[in-house]
Chain A
Amino acid sequence: MLGLGVDRLQADINRLLTSLFHQGVLDEQFLQLQQLQDETSPTFVYDVINIYFDESEKLLRSLRLLLMDREFSDYKKIGLHLNQLVGSSSSIGARRVRNVCVAFRSASELNNRPGCLRGLEIVEHEYHYLKNMMHELFQLEQQRLLAAGVRYPM
């Protein structure tokens, strides 16, 4: 029944992706990433997204530290961090994360501290949602490969 397992898992993957596109969590740039994956780099999407997670979490931690500081005033630095987040989120097709980062950036350009704090909360929320969804996607993908009997260096 290996074949059936693969088909079911593939259907689950497709359903999850469709839902994420529908919600606007992902956009077509994610498809572009998938198209870049091939035999020479079979884990490309996984690798790239993990780099994105690492870099984003560092940036988010830094943003939180900056804003938690009662004597905070370096809005420019916040702007620079957000530029990076906007850029990398666009590059992997994380549309919702990108959009909330842009909104957050607007608040920082107005030196609006409460707006920034709110913006950060929203970005963290969207980011964690995305991360959970990606983990689910990778798990399904792993299971599908196992079901298909593929050896996979991870």
Chain B
Amino acid sequence: MGMAAVESHFHVLAVDDSSFDRKLIEKLLQKSSCQVTTVDSGYKALEFLGIESNDPNALSTSPQEVEVNLIITDYCMPGMTGYDLLKKVKESSAFKNIPVVIMSSENVPARISRCLEEGAEEFFLKPVRMADLNKLKPHMMKTKLNNQKLEEIDKPLNVAAAAAAVEPEIKDSAEVGSKILTLQSELEPKQVHLQVAQQEEQTLGNNNKRKSMEEGLSTDRSRPRFECITTAV
């Protein structure tokens, strides 16, 4: 699978039962310089990740060493919906930190809030556009940074050398310990910055979502749809 070569490229797992939509989302993601794996069901997505599903037809292979930076899934799918998939991912200890994005062609406010409450990072109305995908970069960066941070802590020599660069002369192991903690907290601000950026994006996103929710409420309930017949003819 060539894991070592993938440094600055994000790997996205796209889930949609429509082959048409899969082709579109794949192209959009490729244009955003992402590596893409597409599957046509929630079950296959879980299989790919290595989470056990209750599907008797699922292959019982051992979990793959796959780094997925984001899962983007359609909501309406037969069998396992995007919401079900979201829940399963968030329930899994290994994968709950992978950001999940839901797509839907229906603007249903209750559906949107349910997904966001369950932990979805974003909810996109189809057709998804490049502008929507640009919102995802911060989310994917977060998982990348988390993974990198874990790697750095695993290598004490590098940490000590970096710590030495931060402050002069480490005297004993207790100091090294505290230096590691300092480094960790130095990494945090970066994360916080991303989170702030994320929050800003999310607020914007939330505003858009709220807008679409309100639109959804007004178009679905009060405005009759029969007007479309007259304009078409």
Select which of B28, B106, B225, B229 is within 8 A of A122 by beta carbon: B229
Say whether A103 contacts B127, CB under 8 Å: no
Residues in B neighbouring A144, C-beta threshold 8 A? none
Q: Is B19's CB within 8 Å of the partner chain A?
A: yes
Say whether B232 contacts A100, CB under 8 Å: yes
Nearest neighbor of A90 in chain B, beta-carbon distance: B127
Say whether A41 contacts B232, CB under 8 Å: no
User: Interface digits, A37-78 against B, CB 8 Å rule (1 contact, 0 not)?
Assistant: 010110010011001100100000000000000000000000
Q: Is A11's CB within 8 Å of the partner chain B?
A: no
Say whether B27 contacts A90, CB under 8 Å: no
Say whether B231 contacts A91, CB under 8 Å: no
A35–B225 alpha-carbon span in the complex (Å):
31
Interface centre among A47, A103, A105 (most CB of B within 10 A): A103
Say whether A96 contacts B232, CB under 8 Å: yes
Q: Is B149's CB within 8 Å of the partner chain A?
A: no
Q: Is B233's CB within 8 Å of the partner chain A?
A: yes
Say whether A35 contacts B20, CB under 8 Å: no
Segment among A14-22, A80-88, A131-139 that sits at the interface with chain B: A80-88
Say whether A87 contacts B225, CB under 8 Å: no
Give the total of B residues in contact with A, Cβ under 8 Å.
Answer: 25
Residues in A neighbouring B105, C-beta threshold 8 A? 83, 86-87, 90
At the interface, is chain A mostly helix, strand, loop or mixed?
helix
Say whether B19 contacts A51, CB under 8 Å: yes
User: Interface digits, B198-233 against A, CB 8 Å rule (1 contact, 0 not)?
Assistant: 000000000000000000000000001110110111
B31 vs chain A, min Cβ distance (A):
6
B97 vs chain A, min Cβ distance (A):
30
Residues in A neighbouring B129, C-beta threshold 8 A? 29, 32
Q: Is B96's CB within 8 Å of the partner chain A?
A: no
B124 vs chain A, min Cβ distance (A):
12
Residues in B neighbouring A105, C-beta threshold 8 A? 225
Q: Is A126's CB within 8 Å of the partner chain B?
A: yes
Nearest neighbor of B105 in chain A, beta-carbon distance: A87
Residues in B neighbouring A102, C-beta threshold 8 A? 225, 228
A35–B18 alpha-carbon span in the complex (Å):
22
B72 vs chain A, min Cβ distance (A):
15
A87–B229 alpha-carbon span in the complex (Å):
18
Nearest neighbor of A35 in chain B, beta-carbon distance: B130
Q: Is A36's CB within 8 Å of the partner chain B?
A: yes
Q: Is A142's CB within 8 Å of the partner chain B?
A: no
A52–B18 alpha-carbon span in the complex (Å):
11
Residues in A neighbouring B106, C-beta threshold 8 A? 83
- Asked if A103 meets B23 with Cβ closer than 8 Å, knowing A32-B127, A90-B127, the reply is no
Nearest neighbor of A41 in chain B, beta-carbon distance: B27
A114 vs chain B, min Cβ distance (A):
13
Ranked 8 nearest A-B pairs via Cβ: A87-B105, A103-B228, A91-B127, A106-B225, A99-B228, A103-B229, A100-B232, A36-B27
Known contacts A48-B20, A88-B18, A91-B20; 17 further A-B pairs (Cβ under 8 A)? A32-B130, A47-B23, A48-B23, A48-B24, A52-B20, A55-B19, A83-B76, A87-B21, A90-B105, A96-B232, A99-B232, A100-B228, A102-B228, A103-B229, A106-B226, A106-B228, A126-B232
Q: Could you pull out 7 A-B pairs where Cβ atoms are within 8 angstroms?
A: A44-B27, A55-B18, A88-B18, A90-B126, A100-B232, A103-B229, A119-B229
